[in-house]
Structures are given as C-alpha cells and as structure tokens.
Homo-oligomer: A and B are copies of this chain.
Amino acid sequence: MSHHLDTFPMPSGLIRSQVLGDQSIYTQLLEMMLHLQETLKDYFAQTQQSPVLEEQSHAQAIYEQEALLGRKMCQMVNLLQCGVTGGLGIQMPLPSLDSRGDVRGGQRTQSSRQLDQPVPQLSDFEAAFNGCDLSNRGVDISVLYHSSFQDYKAYQRDKYKDKNSGLINLGTSENKLCTDLITTRLLQSDMNCIEKNLLQYTDWRGHLFLREEVARFLTYYCKTPACLDPENVVVLNGCCSVFSALAMVLCDPGEAFLVPTPFYGGFTFTSRLYAKVELIPVHLESEITDVNTHPFQLTVDKLEQALFEARLQGKRVRGLMLTNPQNPLGDVYSRDSLKEYLEFAKRYNLHAIIDEIYMLSVFDKSVTFHSVLSMESLPDPNRTHVIWGTSKDFGISGFRFGALYTNNKEVAAAVSAFGYLHSTSGITQFKLFRLLQDREWIDKVYLPTNHFRLRETHKYVTKELQELEIPFLNRGSGLYVWINLKKYLFPCTFEEELLLHQRFLDNKLMLSRGKTYMCKEPGWFRLVFADKPTRLRVAMCRFSQTLGEQKQYLIRKQLEDAMKE
C-alpha cells in the first residue's frame, strides 16, 4: 500500500484557500484521500482477480467494498461542505456519485470530465450528500467497523470446514480446544432451567444469583484475602462492554487512558465507538537493554514518561489500562511489578483497570498468576477496577458475558446503567451460574484438561516456529504466541507487514498483525494456537508455505533493487 498520489487529483493551493478555511480540515481531507486511494486500489485489485471465494460470498465482499467506497466519498463530501461557506462554488474535479454513493461510474467518467466537461458545482456535492443516508457519525462508524473487522467478516463468510478451501482463523483469540468438555457439561440436566424470572427483565446489574456466584468464583480463583461482595459485581454482555462502560463513566470525551503496547485491538474499536476516549500508547520495545530485562518489558519509568508527554500535550489522562496475563505478549506480571504499576496509578490519581480475562489460561506450571484482587491491600482500592469473563478461560465467547468487580460503589452504580443496552439473556446467566458453581468439575476435569491441551498445542506450534527459525515470546499463558517476522519484511515497514498479512490471507490463513495492536515495531504477528490439532497442522502448513512465497518475493525484489542501482 504505497501512498503515491497518482489516482486522484489533489486540491491545489488556490482551491485550498478558497474552499477550506481551516488547516485541520485540510489535513483530515488529505488523510481521507489517502485512505480512499488505498481502498480503491484494493477494490480494483479484487474485482479484476478471479473470484477466490464462493460466488455469493464474493459478490457480498465486492458489495461491501463498493458501499465502503461510497461512504468514504460521502464523508469527504461532508467535510468539504463544512469548508464551504456562503455557497462558494467548488473548483475541484471529483467523481460524481449516484444515489447509492457508488463511486464506480464516477471513476470511469472522471478522466473525460476533466478534459471536456464543466467542473461540478455545489449541487453535485449536495446530490452526493443526499445519496448517503448515514450521518457523519454513521459514516465514521461504518468505516471504523469495516477497517477493524474486514478479515473477520471474510472469515465468517468462508470458514474452513475440514476441507482445504476455507479460511483458518488463527487471528481471533478463541480457545477451541475444550469444546467437547464444555458441550457435555452444558448439556447436563441441571443447566436447562427455564424459570419465569429468567424470561423477564432483570436487575440491570445482572441476576443476583449470578453476581453472587461471580463473587464466590473470584474469591476462590483470585485468592482474595476476604470474601468479595456481590454488590460490587456488574454483569454485562462481554468484557468489551464492561470496558466501554468504564470508559464512559470514568472519562469525558477526549480524555485518555494509558495502555502499554502492544495491546488488544478490540480496545481501540471499543474506545472509539461510544466513549471517544483516547488510548495513549506506552510503547514497549522488543530489544533487551539496560532498562529492558526482557522483551517488551513494562516499567514505571516508561509509564511516567508516557504520562508526562501526554500531559505536556495538554491531554487529560484518567486511567491506566492493563491486561494480565497480557494479550498479545502472554506476559504474567509478578506481584511486585503489579504493585508498582498500581502505586504509579495512585501517585498520579489515575484509575487502574485490570483486565484479567486470561487468568485461568496460564498453562505453564512454572508460571504463577497474581490477581490484583489477591493483594492484601490495594494501593487505591477505590480506583481499581477488575474485568473478567468466561470467553477465553472457558472458550465460550459466544456466551457474551463480562463482569466488573470494583469496590467503588459510585462506579458500580454508574456502570449498571449500561445493563439496559448491554445485558445478556437470563437463560445464559443461569447456565453461567451453574458452570461457575461446579468447582469440582472445573478443578478436576476442565482446568487440568484445558491446560494440558494448551501445553500440547503450544508445544507443537513453537516447535514448528523453531524449525522455521522464527523468534517468538515463550510465556506459558494465553492462547497465542507473539512472533517476530521482521526478517520477512524488506523494507521493515508497516506497509510491508500489511502485504505479508495479505499474503497469509491469500493462502487462507488469518493471523493478526502487530499494527492492530499499536505495536511500535513492524513485523510482529500474533498466532493463536488454541485450535484443534488437525486444523492447526493445515494452518502451519499454510504458514510455512506463505513464508516460502514471501522469501521468493524478497529475493526477486532485492535483485530488482540491485539492478536499479
């Protein structure tokens, strides 16, 4: 994805001063232009290639790209309209849009119009605007969604099903290793309760029976010094809903959280959809140096530096967001480190949000997880908020369950408001209650089996990586490994990272790339290994094949470069 301006005409200096009163609008427009250009390139590449998906899926994919183009167009037009005051005519040739916001026809007629037709006037822009039924916010959301979930949507249309053609998804963090155990447990008779209170509206914080069970469960597995209080638990439909609600009630729009990078990309989408909270990266480096005793080490110095820089820029930082065990690194924070981070938060009046969604997915017996809830005394109990859910540890992301635990009654009360639009169904709450309640099954059957299988698949994948001489972090927790593919990028840029990512997709393998985790260094990928061994073998085959192709591509490219010089 190069950034050359060879497809679309750019506004000239004259037009700029006529049309756009504001430098920031100009900058935004430029960025949109660049994005539009990239999307157009992708689109044309895809329509020209032979269909790779099943016919209907392909048509759907094409349709979505067309719609996206239309929307991006609308967004630009809207922005331009902001810049137009007093009915100024616009001198800039732009493709016309039909009522669906379809850019294709416009693209085709553009060159001829540039030569022999009058330039479009404001009415054209109005027509384009009327062609878009979404608000500006709606266009933004649509663009954000498409760019965040493009691969995932392709996967939903074309899943691998024990034949060779579909996409294998090692990009989404799901544990598919214990579906057999979970299914068997969920089919037992104690699960199938349909009481009338489950059918009706609930306490928006979640049913009391479930909040009580969550409190007992976390008391036990987090080894808390005292019993947790169900009144401090709020249940919503997933951990991202909990994070979104926290961002809404702890921050005003434009305020910020500090988040060490690389971090889970879902936080970015979530913080943008509603809360409009900025996630300020605390950049960690892969190299071991004086300050870094291990790759991507988080230190209080780095937190402080990021905080000071943010404050210098006038940003209002309200909190620190940590994930422990970390995603995508797999790091498990020591008790001392954790305490340091929390003391840093207290020192600067920051809320600390700790996402412990992988707490039971520590499969290496030599690694010990410490929940913040296990601390004898929290540095700032009133500003420490813990998130946990069953999506990862029990491999049931489809259950839509996330829980907040906070000692802060005000925060718990405010987050409860979100139950109205983010609650999970009563029958699901009941099954979760039964599941969490069955401590014997969890301790004696589920966890040992799950950890064994995680170890086995981790062992298989890391052995493959070693054979391919690919560096990776070996941390013993989570459902993924963080791998270093820098040597396959030339030059080592995010553009090349994206191209390699696309090459994996072309080989029907979905990974997730470092850029979506806000990683500072190009070339890192997250590979999920918590998948069925048979599928994992096919996936690693595709992985190895893609890297083979990439190697050939690099050799050709370097040869060409050498010949140019």
Contact = CB atoms under 8 A, between A and B. Distances in A.
Interface of A: 60, 63-64, 67, 70-71, 101, 130, 132-139, 141-142, 144-146, 149, 153, 156, 172, 174, 176, 179, 182-183, 186-187, 192, 194-204, 231, 237-238, 240-241, 244, 248-253, 255, 266, 269-270, 273-274, 318, 349, 351, 382-383, 395-401, 408-411, 413-414, 416-418, 420-428, 431
Nearest to A428: B425
A417 B144 contact: yes
A344 B139 CA distance: 26
Q: How many copies does the complex hold?
A: 2
Given A101-B410, A135-B249, A398-B201, A417 B273 contact: yes
12 contacts: A135-B249, A135-B250, A137-B251, A142-B417, A149-B420, A183-B196, A198-B398, A199-B397, A199-B399, A237-B422, A244-B421, A399-B426
A273 B421 contact: yes
Most buried by B among A133, A198, A202: A133
B424 A427 contact: no
Interface SS of chain A: helix
Contact of A199 (B179, B237, B408, B426): B179
A420 B269 contact: yes
Contact of A421 (B179, B183, B197, B422): B422
A409 B424 CA distance: 27
B145 A410 contact: no
A237 B423 contact: yes
Contacts of A70: 410
Contacts of A420: 145, 149, 240, 266, 269-270, 273
Contact of A274 (B241, B274, B411, B423): B274
A194 B187 contact: yes
B187 A199 contact: no
B182 A199 contact: yes
Q: Which of A174, A182, A196, A201 has the most CB of B within 10 A?
A: A201
A413 B142 contact: yes
Contacts of A237: 237, 400, 421-425
A156 to B, nearest CB: 5
Report which residue of A241, A244, A400, A408 has the largest number of chain B beta carbons within 10 angstroms of its beta carbon.
A400
Given A134-B414, A199-B179, A409 B63 contact: yes
B204 A421 contact: no
Nearest to A351: B133
Contacts of A349: 130
Please name the 6 residue pairs, one residue from A and one from B, whose CB atoms are nearest each other, closest first.
Answer: A138-B249, A145-B417, A398-B426, A142-B414, A425-B428, A135-B252
Of A204, A238, A414, A422, which is in contact with the most chain B CB atoms at under 10 Å from its CB?
Answer: A414
Given A101-B410, A269-B420, A420-B273, A135 B196 contact: no
B174 A196 contact: no
Contacts of A64: 413
Contact of A251 (B71, B135, B422): B135
Given A135-B250, A194-B187, A199-B179, A398 B425 contact: yes
Contacts of A401: 425
Contacts of A141: 248-249, 414, 417
B255 A135 contact: yes
A64 to B, nearest CB: 7
Given A183-B195, A244-B421, 9 more contacts: A133-B410, A134-B250, A137-B249, A144-B417, A172-B201, A187-B192, A200-B398, A237-B424, A273-B421
Contacts of A422: 237, 241, 421-422
Contact of A253 (B67, B137, B195): B137
A137 B396 CA distance: 33
A252 B136 contact: yes
Contact of A397 (B200, B244, B409): B200
Nearest to A421: B241
Contacts of A197: 398
